[in-house]
């Protein structure tokens, strides 16, 4: 009887004991859910041959869901604690509900991260051409936005639908706050839909000092590793609002263009004498060209002579034309020049720096090989040029007298 009277006179003691029991129960449930259960799950995941469960575990999806168990114990257990002030229980339940909403949002974010990882591991090629990271980030933002609305509604004891209806009046403010996010979302959809940009694409955007490989595409940013190993971060929406050059077509086509001109000294261009033309036949690449040209010009000039025309009207072979034919034949015989792609040797308009003879062809896409092949081609052309009686144009002031000359 005295024991019952004691507890009735000391209600606070009962409340304290019940709170201690609730705390112990919460600790026990947390230990079971977070420690024992998660340890068993980890061991089970390690034994399975699949990889998707590793992604869920590695991104913390199950761990964050496990934290819901002690929160639920508090949410329902607080009702069994007697003697608490009237406002403590609803406030406690509101706080716990807010924690649950936040935990679910974080678990949802981890779930989307796991989905992204599974998607990239399952089909890496498709993940590069059609990345989904931007869409998953939108889902993450939406999940946290819903969680915030629910938390505010629970803390202030309001209907979430009323809060959503109130957001309509704040549309202009929200559009201003989330302007970059909305622009980036539209840009991400356009980039993905039109296949304008992929990870590992080599792009050039001089206005933003970007010149290198794309290493990451997210909702808000595109990261480019420049050739000097610096990293340029570009807002995604600027990839749509401004122009950039994508070199993916080079790798897809299998050939990189060589477009460089030899500047011929115009004063060295002349007609070839018959003996010079005959001497150039020792070049096997243009032997057929010279024979065909000699036959063509011989028939044409014979007709002129038969009509009694002055010899000045005769057609003759030039050293520049013969050299152009040699360059074309040389490129056609080159094993490292793509023969199925455009191949031209053309004259460009002459200028104060000479007559440009442009080489236009395609070769390996590998940077080092491309530079080696281009250098080998022009090394050969510069070295063989004097055989045709031609000279490369060079500024007079840059010509140094040879030792022992004048």
Q: How does pLDDT run across 58-86, given as a tens digit for each residue?
A: 777 888 888 888 888 888 888 877 777 77
Average pLDDT over residues 345-371: 93
CB 138 within 8 A of CB 219: yes
Between 327 and 318, the more confident residue is: 327
The mean pLDDT of the chain is 82
What integer pLDDT is reported at residue 230 of this predicted model? 94
As a CATH number, domain 254-270+318-396 is 3.30.70.100
The rounded Cα 377 to chain-centroid distance in angstroms is 33
Of 31-45, 166-180, 280-294, where does mean pLDDT reach its minimum?
Answer: 166-180
Average pLDDT over residues 270-281: 87
**202-253: CATH topology:** SH3 type barrels. (2.30.30)
CB 198 within 8 A of CB 131: yes
At residue 246 the predicted structure's pLDDT band, cuts being 50, 70 and 90, is very high
| Domain extent listing, the chain | 2-177, 202-253, 254-270+318-396, 274-317
At residue 348 the predicted structure's pLDDT band, cuts being 50, 70 and 90, is very high
* Per-residue pLDDT at 110 exceeds 90: no
* Per-residue pLDDT at 325 exceeds 80: yes
At residue 1 the predicted structure's pLDDT band, cuts being 50, 70 and 90, is very low
Return the SS3 of 324. helix
Which residue matches tokens 């062809």?
361
Nearest Cα residue to 250 out of 238, 240, 258, 242: 258
The strand order across the sheet containing 202-205 reads 231-235, 221-226, 210-217, 202-205, 245-246
- 132-180 tens-digit pLDDT: 777 787 788 888 888 888 888 888 777 777 666 666 656 666 666 677 7
Of 18-27, 150-159, 350-359, 362-371, where does mean pLDDT reach its minimum?
Answer: 150-159
pTM of the full structure: 0.57
Matching fold, domains 202-253 and 254-270+318-396: no
């Amino acid at each position: 009887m005295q024991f019952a009277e004691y507890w009735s006179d000391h209600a606070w003691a009962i409340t304290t004991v019940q709170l201690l029991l609730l705390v112990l129960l919460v600790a026990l449930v947390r230990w079971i859910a977070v420690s024992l259960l998660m340890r068993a799950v980890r061991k089970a995941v390690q034994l399975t041959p699949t990889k998707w469960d590793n992604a869920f575990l590695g991104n913390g999806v199950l761990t964050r869901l496990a934290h819901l168990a002690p929160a639920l114990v508090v949410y329902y257990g607080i009702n069994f604690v007697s003697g608490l002030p009237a406002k403590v229980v609803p406030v406690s339940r509101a706080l716990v509900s807010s924690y649950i909403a936040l935990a679910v949002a974080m678990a949802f974010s981890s779930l989307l991260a796991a989905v992204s990882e599974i998607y990239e591991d399952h089909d890496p090629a498709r993940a590069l051409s059609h990345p989904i990271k931007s869409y998953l980030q939108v889902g993450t933002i939406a999940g946290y936005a819903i969680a915030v609305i629910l938390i505010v509604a629970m803390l202030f004891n309001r209907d979430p639908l009323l809060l959503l209806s109130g957001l309509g009046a704040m549309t202009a403010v929200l559009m201003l706050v989330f302007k970059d996010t909305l622009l980036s979302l539209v840009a991400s959809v356009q980039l993905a839909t039109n296949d304008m940009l992929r990870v590992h694409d080599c792009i050039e955007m001089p206005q933003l000092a970007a010149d290198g490989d794309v290493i990451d595409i997210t909702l808000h940013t595109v990261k480019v590793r420049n050739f000097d190993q610096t990293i340029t971060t570009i807002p995604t929406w600027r990839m749509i609002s401004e122009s950039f050059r994508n070199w993916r077509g080079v790798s897809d086509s299998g050939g990189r263009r060589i477009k460089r001109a030899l500047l011929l000294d115009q004063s060295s261009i002349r007609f070839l004498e018959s003996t010079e033309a005959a001497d150039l036949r020792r070049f096997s690449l243009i032997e057929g060209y010279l024979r065909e040209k000699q036959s063509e010009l011989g028939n044409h000039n014979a007709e002129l002579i038969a009509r009694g025309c002055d010899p000045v009207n005769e057609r003759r072979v030039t050293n520049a034309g013969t050299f152009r034919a040699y360059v074309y034949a040389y490129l056609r015989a080159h094993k490292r020049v793509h023969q199925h792609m455009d191949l031209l040797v053309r004259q460009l308009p002459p200028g104060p720096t000479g007559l440009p003879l442009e080489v236009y062809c395609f070769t390996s896409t590998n940077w080092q090989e491309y530079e080696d092949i281009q250098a080998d081609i022009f090394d050969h052309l510069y070295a063989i040029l004097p055989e045709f009686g031609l000279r490369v144009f060079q500024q007079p002031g840059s010509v140094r007298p040879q030792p022992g000359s004048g």
